[in-house]
């Protein structure tokens, strides 16, 4: 997709504002009309606008590289370690596994109290424990299935989020916690960035992951839920002396986690909804629904 088209989509249509077409050669020439007809068809087929070809190639390459490494580790004895780890513990896949990188806070000092404002994004693979326990007709074992699914999904989600200047701060085993720093002078910027990242995670990134898993291992599609929530958070260090890592503690993390249990859906909390800018001709709808006792809104078109 052309750079000018990407910018137009981001700045106009995605944010609920119809682009001005009259007199613009990008829309009035035959080439322009045909291009925008193709874009509309893609939108209808996929439920939203596609990545640029460059971004799609990056995510696809990320998925392939992650699966190549996962296969190598599995063949080099990783399956023995994982089988031992899983014995008697079906929740192993939800263990935290990496340090975090909090946006706007490259250095976090233990003795300094820092409070900042974030939008938390939690993306969670649905029914992952069933993937471990239910046999299917595929080229891999159940344990391999979960290993390959998470190996492909997690870096693909992280890259998708990074495209929008968000940062994954924790890997949750079968999902991610990411943060978007809120600029107090322009809170809408973080809202739009977090939503675009969430939308791309649920749609195109998930499709790319599913395509790779199906072509390599004959695996069925994975489903993904995403929750978005807003609040202030304490940025601090946790852990033992010499082994501490940065962490953000805030209600946004709790609420985003609770709202991430939809099936290929995006839910936002009431605070994100309250900050969402309104625009004439906007195409998004917000359907109020509770998820896990949290007041939320399903984003729908």
Give the Å distances, CA to CA, from 235 to 113, 137, 239: 7, 46, 14
**Band (86; pLDDT cuts 50, 70, 90):** low
Same domain, 74 and 42: no
Of residues 94 and 178, more confidence is placed in 178
Range in 36-45, 54-63, 70-79, 247-256 the model is least confident about:
36-45
| pLDDT tens per residue, range 213-258 | 999 999 999 999 999 999 999 988 887 777 788 889 999 999 999 9
Describe the chain by its helix, strand, coil percentages, rounded to 5: 45, 20, 30
pLDDT at 78: 61
pLDDT at 88: 47
Residue closest to 248 by CA, chosen among 168, 190, 174, 152: 168
pLDDT higher than 90, residue 263: yes
Q: Distance between CA atoms of 99 and 131, rounded to whole angstroms?
A: 26
| pLDDT tens per residue, range 144-158 | 888 999 999 999 999
Same domain, 16 and 59: no
Same domain, 112 and 255: yes
Range in 133-147, 225-239, 252-266, 273-287 the model is least confident about:
133-147
Q: The tokens of 41 are what? A: 């068809």
Same domain, 18 and 166: no
pLDDT higher than 60, residue 35: no
Same domain, 19 and 133: no
Q: Is 240 helix (H, G, I), strand (E, B) or coil?
A: coil
Same domain, 121 and 222: yes
Same domain, 58 and 156: yes
Same domain, 84 and 139: yes
Q: Distance between CA atoms of 108 and 106, rounded to whole angstroms?
A: 7
**Average pLDDT over every residue of 37-66:** 70
Same domain, 40 and 175: no
- Tally of domains within the chain: 2
**Average pLDDT over every residue of 196-212:** 97
Phi and psi torsions of 182, nearest 5°: -95, 120
pLDDT higher than 50, residue 267: yes
pLDDT higher than 90, residue 297: yes
CATH number assigned to the domain comprising residue 204: 3.30.70.1230
pLDDT at 125: 93
pLDDT higher than 60, residue 6: no
Same domain, 151 and 281: yes
Same domain, 178 and 284: yes
**Whole domain around residue 72: which residue ranges?**
53-300
Same domain, 134 and 17: no
pLDDT at 71: 83
């Amino acid at each position: 997709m052309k750079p000018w088209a990407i910018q137009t989509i981001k700045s106009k249509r995605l944010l609920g504002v119809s682009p001005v077409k009259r007199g613009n050669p990008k829309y009035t020439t035959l080439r322009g009309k045909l291009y925008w007809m193709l874009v509309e068809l893609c939108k209808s087929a996929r439920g939203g606008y596609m990545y640029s070809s460059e971004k799609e190639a990056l995510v696809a390459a990320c998925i392939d590289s992650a699966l190549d490494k996962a296969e190598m580790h599995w063949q080099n004895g990783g399956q023995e370690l994982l089988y031992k780890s899983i014995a008697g513990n079906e929740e192993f896949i939800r263990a935290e596994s990496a340090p975090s990188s909090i946006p706007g806070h490259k250095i976090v000092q233990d003795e300094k109290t820092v409070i900042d404002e974030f939008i938390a994004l939690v993306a969670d693979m649905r029914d992952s424990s069933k993937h471990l326990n239910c046999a299917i007709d595929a080229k891999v074992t159940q344990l391999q299935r979960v290993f390959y699914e998470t190996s492909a999904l997690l870096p693909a989600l992280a890259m998708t989020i990074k495209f929008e200047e968000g940062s994954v701060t924790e890997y949750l085993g079968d999902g991610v916690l990411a943060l978007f720093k809120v600029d107090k002078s322009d809170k809408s910027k973080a809202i739009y960035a977090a939503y675009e990242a969430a939308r791309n995670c649920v749609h195109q990134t998930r499709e790319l992951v599913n395509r790779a898993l199906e072509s390599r291992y004959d695996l069925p599609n994975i489903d993904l839920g995403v929750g978005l929530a807003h609040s202030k958070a304490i940025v601090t260090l946790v852990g033992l002396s010499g082994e501490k890592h940065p962490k953000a503690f805030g209600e946004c993390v709790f609420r985003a986690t609770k709202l991430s249990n939809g099936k290929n859906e995006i839910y936002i909390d009431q605070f994100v909804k309250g900050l969402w800018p309104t625009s004439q001709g906007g195409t998004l709808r917000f359907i109020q629904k509770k998820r896990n006792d949290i007041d939320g809104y399903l984003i729908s078109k």
